[in-house]
Chain A
Amino acid sequence: MLEIKNLHAKVGDKEILKGVNLTINDGEIHALMGTNGAGKSTLSNVIVGNPNYEVMEGSITFNGQDLLAMSPEERAHAGIFMSFQVPIEIPGVSMTNFMRAAVNARREAQGKEPLKSTDFLKVMREKRKLVEIDQKLMNRSVNEGFSGGERKRNEIFQMAMLEPTFCILDETDSGLDVDALRIVAEGFNKLRTEETSAIVITHYQRLLDYIRPDFVHVLIDGKIVKTGTAELAQQIEEQGFDWIKEELV
C-alpha cells in the first residue's frame, strides 16, 4: 500500500505539488489525469526519488516504510518501478548487461545469490515474448537507436524482468501507434498480479480502455481536485478540464 499525505514538492525554486493526498491499496489501478504542468510527472518522480525534485513537506509510506528516507535504488528494490516518459539512452551498456545488473542488484538486496547466466537468459527470453520485443534490441545499448515505440515497449519489458509490486506508467501511451499501444497495455495486464498496484498517467482515454482504472484523479495546479471512477476519464476525453476548473471557482 502506498500512502501519500500532504505532499509538497518543488523543482528548483518552483513549488509544483501543493498538498497531495492519495492512498493506493494493493491491486488498485489509479489513473492520474490533468493539464500540462499540473504536477503529474513531479508526483511520479518524487515517488521514485529523483534527486532533481525536492520534498518540502508531507510524507510517503510504502507498505509501512518511510519512502522518502530511502535512496532511489532502495525504493526500486522495495518493488517500485517507473516506466519513464522519455527513456534515456545509455551508450556502451548493452540491454542484456543492464538488465543483469538490475536483476542481480535486486536479488542482492533480497539476500539472494545472483542469477546464473543460463537462468538469466532464460528469464529474458520468456519476458521478451510477453511484450513482443525483438532479441536484436537486447544486444544494443540501452535505448540507443530505439524507435519511440521500441523504447516504451522496452520499459514494459524491464518491468516484466523486475516484477515490481507498484508501477508508475508515465505517459507510456504517448508516441505509440494503436497496435503498439495494445501490445504494451496487454503486456502490462499479463504482468499484473492481485497485489500489483499502479499509477497510470495519461492524457487519453484509449490507454484506459486496456488498463481499466479503479479510480481516476484529476490533478490541477499541484492538488488532486477531483476523484472519480473510469467514467470520469471518459467525461474528460469528451469535455476537457475546463468544467472541472469551473467547479473549483
Chain B
Amino acid sequence: MSEKNEKEQGTNRTNEFVRSVAEKKYEFGFTTDVHTEIIEKGLNADVVRLISEKKGEPDWLLQFRLEAYRYWLTQVQPTWGHVHLPEIDYQAISYYADPTAKSKKGPQSVEEIDPELMKTFDKLGIPLEERLALSGTAVDAVMDSVSVKTTFKEKLSEKGIIFCSISEAVKNHPDLVRQYLGSVVPPKDNYFAALNSAVFSDGSFVYIPKNTRCPMELSTYFRINARNTGQFERTLIVCDEGSYVSYLEGCTAPMRDENQLHAAIVEIVVMDNAEVKYSTVQNWYPGDAEGRGGVLNLVTKRGDLRGVNSKLSWTQVETGSAITWKYPSCVLRGDNSQAEFYSVAVTNHHQEADTGTKMIHIGKNTRSTIISKGISAGQSQNSYRGLVRVGKQADGARNYSSCDSLLLGSQCGAHTFPYMDIHNNTATVEHEATTSKINEDQLFYCNQRGISTEEAVGLIVNGYAKEVINKLPMEFAVEAQKLLSVSLEGTVG
C-alpha cells in the first residue's frame, strides 16, 4: 500500500516539478509590440545598398560592405563545428528592422523614444534613464538593427571617451572608424564575418583616448525582437596607449519557434600599456525543451594586442542560444602582452555549443591563460575548441590552459579539441583537462541536510564556475550566478 502511495506521490512531485520548470524556464521570452520598420526579406546587393543608405553612410563604407558581400557569395557555410547548424535560408531573413522608426529622425532624447521600448529595457533590468541606471554603468541599448539609446554619453565625452552606436560613430568619427573597422577581423576572415561585414546594422563603438581610465563600466545590451530578422551586431573597441576600459555585453531574445540568426563581429584594439576587459553574459533564447527555435549565435570576436605590455581579458558566461559557435580570440602582437580567456558555457536540453579561444603569440614574452568550464545537461552537446599558436619570433611565450567539463545526467556530451601549433622552442605550453559528473550521492547528501536538488545543483555548479564568475564585474556576477542555476533547473533528479 505504502509502496504504491510513495510511487504515486513521487510521480506527482516529478510532474509538478517538470511543469514548473517548463513554465518558468526562460524569463526574457516576451515580445515588445512596437511599430517596427522591417525591410523586405532577402539578401542581394540592393539590400546591402539600402542598409547603407538608411544609415546615411559614406561611400567607402558602402564599398566595404559590397566587397564583403561579393566575397560571401563565393563562400559556403562552414560545417566543421561540432554542432548541427541547420541549413540557413538567407533569403528568408530580413536584414534590417528598426523599432525606433516611428520617431522622425531617430531618437534624440529619452522623451522621443517610444515608451514601449523604454518599458522593454526596464523589464530586462536595463533602465535607460540615467537617474535609474545601475551605478557606474553606461549602457548602449540595441534592439534588432538599431541602437535605441546610449546613456552617459555626455559625461564620458568630458574625458574624451567616445561611447556611442557604431552608426553614430560612422557619422561623427568617420576617420577613427575607417582606421580600425575590419583591421582585426577582416571581411574575408570567415563566412559569417563576410556576411556581417556586408549587412551589419548596429553595435557599439568605444574609443578611450590616451592615458585615460574609463570611469564607468561600459555595456551594450542586445535584444532581438522582430520576427524573421537577423541581428548583425558590430562592435569596435579601441583602447589607446596607457588606458583602461571594462566592457560588458548582455543578450536576450523572445521565445519563438523558428531559429533566429545572430552573426556578430567584435573587434578590439589594445595599444601600448593599455588594458581591456570584455565580459559577456549571453542569454539568448535557447529554444524549447524539444529543441524547437532558439538563437543561432555565430560570432567572430577577436582582440588585437598591438601594443607592448597590453592586456586583454575575455570573460564569457554562455547559457543561451540553440547553437553557440564562437572563439573570442587574442592576437598577442606586442611584446610582453597578456591575454586571458575565462569561459563558462552551459548547455541544456538540445542546445549545442562549440566554443573556446585562439591565442596567437607573436610578440616576445607574451603570456596567455585559458580557463574553460563546460557544463552540459539534458541531451546537449558542449565542446571546447582552442588553439594555442606560438610564432617563430615569440621567444619566451607562455600559455596555461585548463578545460573542465561537468556532466549532469547521462545523455549529454562534453568534448575537448585542443590544438597546439608551436614554432618556438623557448615556449612553455601547459594543458590540463578534467571531466566530472554530479553524482546522486552528492545530491542526496545535500537533500539530507534539507537542501533541495535544484538548489544543490546550483551550489555545485556555481562552485564549479566560481573561478570564471569572479572575473565578472560585481553586479553581473550576481546575475550570472542566478542565470546558471535557472538554466540548469530540472536537469537532475
Residues of A in contact with B (beta carbons under 8 Å apart): 48-52, 54-59, 66, 68-69, 71-73, 76-77, 81-82, 84, 87-94, 97-98, 101-102, 105-106, 109, 141-142, 158, 162
Contact = CB atoms under 8 A, between A and B. Distances in A.
B417 to A, nearest CB: 25
Among B9, B446, B462, max chain A CB count under 10 A is at B446
A105 B440 contact: no
Interface of B: 1-3, 5-6, 9, 13, 436, 440-442, 444-452, 455, 459-460, 462-464, 466
A102 B2 contact: no
Among A66, A77, A94, A98, max chain B CB count under 10 A is at A98
A32 to B, nearest CB: 18
A92 B464 contact: yes
Contacts of B442: 88-90
Contacts of A141: 463
Given A72-B448, A93-B459, A141-B463, 20 more contacts: A49-B447, A52-B440, A55-B3, A56-B3, A57-B2, A58-B2, A68-B2, A68-B6, A69-B6, A84-B448, A87-B445, A88-B442, A90-B442, A90-B463, A92-B462, A98-B446, A105-B450, A105-B455, A109-B450, A158-B449
A102 to B, nearest CB: 4
A64 B446 CA distance: 25
B441 A88 contact: yes
B88 to A, nearest CB: 38
B448 A76 contact: yes
A186 to B, nearest CB: 23
B460 A102 contact: no
Contact of A88 (B5, B445, B450, B455): B445
Contacts of B6: 55, 68-69
B444 A102 contact: no
A123 to B, nearest CB: 15
A28 B439 CA distance: 35
Contact of A102 (B436, B440, B449): B449
Contacts of A91: 436, 463-464
B447 A98 contact: no
A125 B147 CA distance: 53
9 contacts: A54-B3, A73-B448, A76-B450, A84-B448, A93-B460, A97-B463, A98-B459, A142-B445, A162-B449
A90 B444 contact: no
A58 B2 CA distance: 7
Given A97-B459, A141-B463, A59 B445 contact: no
Closest 9 CB pairs between A and B? Answer: A92-B463, A76-B450, A72-B447, A102-B449, A93-B463, A105-B450, A92-B464, A106-B450, A93-B459
B2 A55 contact: yes
A101 B451 contact: yes
A138 B9 CA distance: 37
Given A98-B459, A102-B451, A57 B444 contact: no
A243 B447 CA distance: 40
Among B1, B5, B445, B460, max chain A CB count under 10 A is at B445
Contacts of A82: 448
B451 A105 contact: yes
Contacts of A54: 3
Contacts of B444: 50-52, 72
Contacts of A73: 447-448, 450-452
Contacts of B2: 55, 57-59, 66, 68
A11 B447 CA distance: 19
A90 B450 contact: no
B3 A48 contact: no
Contacts of A142: 445
B274 to A, nearest CB: 34
Contacts of B449: 76, 98, 102, 105, 158, 162
B466 A48 contact: no
A69 B463 contact: no
Nearest to B447: A72
B440 A101 contact: no
B447 A71 contact: yes
A91 B450 CA distance: 19
A92 B466 contact: yes
Contacts of B455: 101, 105
B8 to A, nearest CB: 10
Nearest to A141: B463
A76 B449 CA distance: 6
Nearest to A87: B445
Contacts of B440: 51-52
B406 to A, nearest CB: 9
A208 to B, nearest CB: 24
Contacts of B459: 90, 93, 97-98, 101
Contacts of A50: 444
Nearest to B449: A102
Contacts of B13: 71
Given A101-B459, A105-B452, A69 B9 contact: yes
A90 B446 contact: yes
Contacts of B436: 91
Contacts of A57: 1-3
B450 A92 contact: no
B5 A68 contact: yes
Among A59, A66, A105, max chain B CB count under 10 A is at A105
Nearest to B445: A88
Nearest to A80: B448
A162 B450 contact: yes
Nearest to B450: A76
Nearest to A81: B448
Nearest to A9: B3
A50 to B, nearest CB: 6
Nearest to A103: B450
Contacts of B446: 90, 98, 101-102
Contacts of A158: 449
Contact of A90 (B3, B5, B445, B452): B445
A141 to B, nearest CB: 7
Contacts of A71: 13, 447
